[in-house]
C-alpha cells in the first residue's frame, strides 16, 4: 500500500493546472514537468516504446507475453488538474483507519470534511484516506488514474506468470479544459479499444456521458452620464438578467441528477456597456441537447426583437458528444470490465457520467473507450479526497482486464 501512496503523493506534488485561455498544447508550461517525470518513470519500471511528443502526450507499451495475437488494449488518464481551483503547493494529508467522523482539514481556517455533508465518506470507514489541507485541490482527478495505470503495469512486469496481450498506455494534458483528446494520435496509439481511468466511486463503469457545448452570450449596451440617461442609456447588465431569468430556473446543476440536463452559468463579467455570460450546456439525449442550444438562440432573438436592436449575441460551440453511440456496438469491452470487477468482488456501478471524459472524444475518433473508476471524490475543490484502497482496487481491475482479454481472444 505504501508504494501506491508514495507514487500518488509524488504526482500531486506537481502543479499541473491547465488554462482554457491559452491556445498552446499543453495549455500551461508547468504541465511539462510532470509529463517528463512520468515518461522517465515509465522507462525506469521497464515499459517499452515510451514517447513524449511535442504536445506532451505520453504513450508507452507493455509487450505481449503470449504466443498468439489478441486485441491490443489501452488505458488512458490525464495529468492536468482543473483550473477552477488552485493546485499550487498541494499539502496532502493521510488519515489511516478513518473512523467515520469529521476530518479537520485545516484547524486555523476551520475547514472540515464532514460525512454529514459528504455522505460518501462513510463508504470508506476503516480505510486510509488522502485529503487536502483545505487550501488547494488534491489532484486525484486524474493523478489517481495515472497512479493506478503505472502501478498495474509495474505489477505485470514483475509478474510475468500473468499472461496478457500487447498493452498500450497513454497520458494526456488539458483534459480539464476539454482538449485532452484533441491531439491524441489514435493511429499511433494502436489499440483496438481502451479505458479511461477517470471515474469516482469504486465500481463505477460508464459508457454514457453528456453531450456538451459552450455558449458565450455577449450583451451590448450604451453608456451615458447617469444624470442625463433617460431614453439614452442601455444597461447591458440589466438585459443580461432578463436573459438569465428566461432560462428554466430548475435546469441548473444543483437542481438536477441522473439523466437530467442543465444550463450552467459558469462565468459573468459586466459593465453598463458590455456584459459577457459564459454557459455550459449539457444533456445526455441528443435531441434535447439540440433543443437546449436552440432555446438559447430563441431567447436572444426574442429579447432583441423587444429591444429593437441586436443587443444580444450568442456564440455556441459543441465540445463533445455522448460516447454511447460508439461504445454500444462494442459492448463486449464493457462486459470485460464488468467481469473483471466481479472477479475481484467489486460491485459494478454502471451509470451515465454527469460530465465528460477523454473517452468520449476518443470514441468518436475511432477508439471505443469506456470509463472506469479511479477512486477520488469531490473533485476540483478543497474537499477532494481519495481512499488508498480504491486506487489499489482500480489497479487490480486493470491487471484483470489485461488477463481476461488474453483468455477470451
End-to-end CA distance of the chain: 32
Q: Using an 8 Å Cβ cutoff, are 363 and 369 in contact? A: yes
* Distance of alpha carbon 293 from alpha carbon 321, whole angstroms: 14
Q: In what order do the strands lie in the sheet with 312-320?
A: 262-270, 274-283, 211-220, 312-320
As a 3-state breakdown, the chain gives helix, strand, coil percent values, each rounded to 5, of: 35, 25, 40
Q: Cell for 107?
A: 484547524
To the query of whether residue 175 is one of the catalytic residues in this protein, the response is yes
- In angstroms, what is the C-alpha Rg of the chain? 23
* Distance of alpha carbon 365 from alpha carbon 361, whole angstroms: 6
Non-local CB neighbours of 332 within 8 Å, separated by 6+ positions: none
Exposed, middle or buried: residue 16 (CB in 10 Å: 0-12, 13-18, 19+)?
buried
Instruction: Assign 130 to helix, strand or coil.
Output: strand
- Closest by CA to 75, choosing from 151, 130, 127, is 151
* Distance of alpha carbon 92 from alpha carbon 162, whole angstroms: 34
* Distance of alpha carbon 64 from alpha carbon 402, whole angstroms: 10
Instruction: Please give the C-alpha separations between residue 357 and each of 11, 116, 207, 282, 335, in angstroms, as whole numbers.
Output: 20, 29, 10, 13, 20
Residue among 154, 174, 175, 208 flagged as catalytic: 175
Continuous segment of H or E residues that includes residue 381: none
To the query of whether residue 19 is one of the catalytic residues in this protein, the response is no
For residue 273, the cross-strand partners are none
Q: In 139-186, at which residue ranges do the beta strands (DSSP E only) sit?
A: 167-172
Q: Cell for 108?
A: 486555523
Residue among 15, 19, 80, 208 flagged as catalytic: 80
* Distance of alpha carbon 285 from alpha carbon 70, whole angstroms: 35
* Distance of alpha carbon 91 from alpha carbon 108, whole angstroms: 15
Backbone angles phi, psi at 400, to 5 degrees: -70, -40
Backbone angles phi, psi at 214, to 5 degrees: -110, 150
Catalytic residues: 80, 175
Amino acid at each position: 500500500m505504501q508504494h501506491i501512496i508514495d507514487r500518488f503523493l509524488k504526482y500531486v506534488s506537481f502543479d499541473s493546472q491547465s488554462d482554457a485561455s491559452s491556445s498552446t498544447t499543453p495549455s500551461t508550461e508547468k504541465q511539462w514537468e510532470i509529463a517528463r517525470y512520468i515518461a522517465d518513470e515509465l522507462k525506469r519500471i521497464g515499459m517499452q516504446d515510451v514517447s513524449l511528443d511535442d504536445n506532451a502526450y505520453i504513450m508507452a507499451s507493455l509487450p505481449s507475453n503470449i504466443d498468439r495475437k489478441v486485441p491490443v488494449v489501452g488505458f488512458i488518464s490525464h495529468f492536468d488538474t482543473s483550473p477552477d481551483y488552485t493546485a499550487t503547493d498541494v499539502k496532502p494529508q493521510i488519515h489511516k483507519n478513518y473512523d467515520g467522523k469529521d476530518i479537520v482539514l485545516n484547524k486555523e481556517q476551520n475547514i472540515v470534511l464532514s460525512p454529514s455533508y459528504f455522505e460518501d465518506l462513510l463508504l470508506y470507514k476503516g480505510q486510509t484516506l488522502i485529503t487536502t489541507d483545505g487550501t488547494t485541490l488534491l489532484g486525484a482527478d486524474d493523478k489517481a488514474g495515472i497512479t493506478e495505470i503505472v502501478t498495474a503495469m509495474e505489477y505485470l512486469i514483475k509478474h510475468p506468470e500473468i499472461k496478457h496481450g500487447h498493452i498500450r498506455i497513454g497520458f494526456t494534458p488539458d483534459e480539464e479544459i476539454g482538449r485532452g483528446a484533441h491531439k491524441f494520435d489514435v493511429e499511433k496509439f494502436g489499440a483496438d479499444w481502451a479505458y479511461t481511468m477517470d471515474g469516482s466511486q469504486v465500481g463505477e463503469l460508464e459508457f454514457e456521458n453528456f453531450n456538451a457545448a459552450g455558449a458565450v452570450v455577449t450583451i451590448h449596451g450604451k453608456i451615458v452620464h447617469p444624470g442625463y440617461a433617460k431614453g439614452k442609456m442601455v444597461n447591458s447588465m440589466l438585459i443580461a438578467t432578463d436573459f438569465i431569468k428566461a432560462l428554466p430556473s430548475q435546469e441548473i446543476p444543483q437542481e438536477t441528477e441522473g439523466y437530467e440536463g442543465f444550463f450552467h452559468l459558469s462565468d459573468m463579467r459586466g459593465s453598463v456597456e458590455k456584459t459577457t455570460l459564459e454557459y455550459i450546456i449539457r444533456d445526455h439525449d441528443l435531441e434535447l441537447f439540440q433543443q437546449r442550444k436552440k432555446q438559447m438562440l430563441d431567447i436572444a432573438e426574442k429579447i432583441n426583437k423587444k429591444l429593437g436592436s441586436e443587443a444580444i449575441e450568442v456564440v455556441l460551440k459543441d465540445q463533445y458528444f455522448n460516447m454511447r453511440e460508439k461504445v454500444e456496438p462494442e459492448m463486449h469491452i464493457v462486459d470485460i470490465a464488468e467481469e473483471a470487477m466481479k472477479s475481484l468482488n467489486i460491485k459494478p456501478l454502471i451509470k451515465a457520467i454527469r460530465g465528460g471524459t477523454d473517452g468520449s472524444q476518443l470514441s468518436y475518433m475511432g477508439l471505443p473507450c469506456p470509463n472506469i473508476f479511479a477512486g477520488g471524490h469531490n473533485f476540483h475543490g478543497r474537499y477532494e479526497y481519495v481512499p488508498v484502497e480504491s486506487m489499489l482496487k482500480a489497479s487490480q481491475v486493470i491487471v484483470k482486464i489485461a488477463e481476461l482479454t488474453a483468455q477470451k481472444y
